[in-house]
Amino acid sequence: MHVDDDLPGDQLPLVAVPLPGSLGARLIDDLSRVECPGLTARRRRREELSGASHDPIVWARARGANVVDVEGNRFVDFTAGFGAALLGHSHPSVVAAVQRQSTRLLHALGDVYPSEPKIALERRLAELAPWPARVILGLSGADAVEAALKTAALATKKPGVVAFVGGYHGLSYGAVGVSGYKTAFRAPFAAQLNAKVVFAPFPSVLAPSPDEAEQAVEASLAAVDAALATGEIGAVVVEPILGRGGVEPAPAGFLAALAERARLAGAVLIADEVYTGLGRTGRLFRSIAQRCVPDILVLGKALGGGLPVSACLIREELAQAWGAPDREALHTSTFLGNPLGCAAALASLDVLTRPETADQIRETGQRLESTLTEALRDHRLGVPRTTFARLLVGLTLEGGSGRALAVMRSMLERGYIVLTGGVAGNVLTLTPPMCLTEAQIDGFTHALVASLHATRVP
């Protein structure tokens, strides 16, 4: 019997052992003694804010939309593991590719003596780009953002970057320096970060009135223009939809306006599509679907189908800047282009680029949107705002971050894994896998309504 025959991935939750269970509790206790205390501190803060336990569950297995913890409880994962399992956990094509590759070559010599899967993946990614492209691979989204920022600095010889309040690009030094998501992430390291980063406001599409929406775009572009006018800005970095920042889509025309402004000012536009890219929002690249052609595209999360691999796609002419300096390979690392990750990414891309996949994402996204819209219409539930971009969904809750965390916990106890996001922490963020079934969407919706009732603000 295949080990996962009892976990096809399309089942409803089954939480038989109350969370976290004795084995789970023991493991978490072990973890809290050895892991960086930052994570334990966050748990305590969450408990204080929400008045609910935030002891984690410990994952043991996952397939499709289902996750099973060490107690044998079964959940439905509406996060797809931070968005990485867009195809579903342990997609059979990805698993088969990893199994095949693991018997041949686990590790090669990166930029010196590469492996075949690395070469094939770079070729495949270059074909997907909207222009003749060069590729720099990475292991995380932040890695690919670093490659993008370095490319901009080399190509323009300008150190400054325009980024956006609420934008999230990862936590390595270059990436956190341009992440306007929360100042708390930058503050302790501020002295070590790029001092020439300017944060512009990100215009909300859901401003109270069309006039205010227009004013928000103007204010944002005015801030971008003022920064570009200094002549010091080499890059504008933007997410087509703020992901961690609360599922906030760029208004129509905004991304194209940024590309045009960057071009006129001799800067490059970096579209960070780590969350939005590769189909999650219905198209392979959200920026291009919004009629914006960026200079650099950053991909991660879904690319590896669960393995750590990311990519920075660069317009050919910009990438030439890497050819000059010192004739050294200025940007590489031991595991960059790791054969297992590359084999997984090739298998993922095969599925992600099929027309049937786009259809499935559209259908699942539509079903989720119509079911949730109908259920959340009742204003007593305290969900004043919803944002749907296929499989990237934000539900803004009344009651602030404390209530959002209480809903997150209540949903977990009912067998549904969700995360909170947004600058104020009050957005329930759903990034499910594309293989959600109708029954899973209905079950989720019932559980959500019950959790919202249970946590109602008086």
Ligand X SMILES: Cc1ncc(COP(=O)(O)O)c(C=O)c1O
Q: Which residues in this chain contact ligand X in the complex, by CB under 6 A? A: 140-142, 145, 168-170, 239, 243-244, 272, 274-275, 300
Query: Taking the CB of residue 33, how many other CB atoms lie within 10 A of it?
Result: 9
Report the residue number, 139 or 262, with the smaller CB distance to ligand X: 139
CB-facing half-sphere around the CA of 60: CA atoms within 13 A = 14
Beta carbons within 10 angstroms of residue 377's beta carbon? 10
Q: How far apart are CA 118 and CA 344, in angstroms?
A: 11
Smaller CB separation from ligand X, 147 or 224 = 147
Q: Which is nearer to ligand X, 69 or 272 (CB)?
A: 272
Question: Is-contact 383 415, C-beta < 8 A?
Answer: no
Least spacing, CB of residue 311 vs ligand X, in Å: 12
Structure tokens at 39: 């994570």
Non-local (6+) Cβ contacts of 182 within 8 A are 423
Three-class DSSP category at 311: strand
Q: CB-wise, 305 or 382, nearer to ligand X?
A: 305
Give least dist CB 144 to ligand X, A. Answer: 8
Q: Given the complex with ligand X, which of 110 and 243 has the nearer CB atom?
A: 243
CA 382/CA 395 separation, integer angstroms: 10
Closest approach of Cβ 244 to ligand X, in Å?
5
- In 64-159, which ranges are E strands? 66-69, 74-77, 133-138
Of the pair 183, 366, the CB lying nearest ligand X is at 183
Rounded Cα distance, 135 and 145, in Å:
12
Least distance from C-beta 308 to ligand X, angstroms? 8
The Cα–Cα gap between 61 and 67 comes to: 6
- CB 326, min distance to ligand X, A: 27
Closest residue to ligand X in the complex (CB)? 141
Select 141 or 166, whichever has its Cβ closest to ligand X: 141
- 170 vs 365, which CB is nearer to ligand X? 170
Distance of closest approach, residue 208 Cβ to ligand X, in angstroms: 27
The nearest distance, CB 10 to ligand X, in angstroms, is 26
Q: Is 188 exposed, middle or buried (0-12, 13-18, 19+ CB in 10 A)?
A: exposed
Least Å from the CB of residue 235 to ligand X: 14
Minimum CB distance to ligand X, residue 23 (Å):
28
Nearer residue to ligand X within complex by CB, 140 or 455: 140
Number of Cβ within 10 Å of residue 93's Cβ equals 15
Q: Where are the beta strands (DSSP E) in 64-206?
A: 66-69, 74-77, 133-138, 160-164, 197-200
Q: Which residue has the tokens 């749907």?
A: 388
Query: Residue 38: which H helix or E strand, with range?
Result: helix 37-50
Backbone angles phi and psi of 61, in degrees to 5 = -145, 155
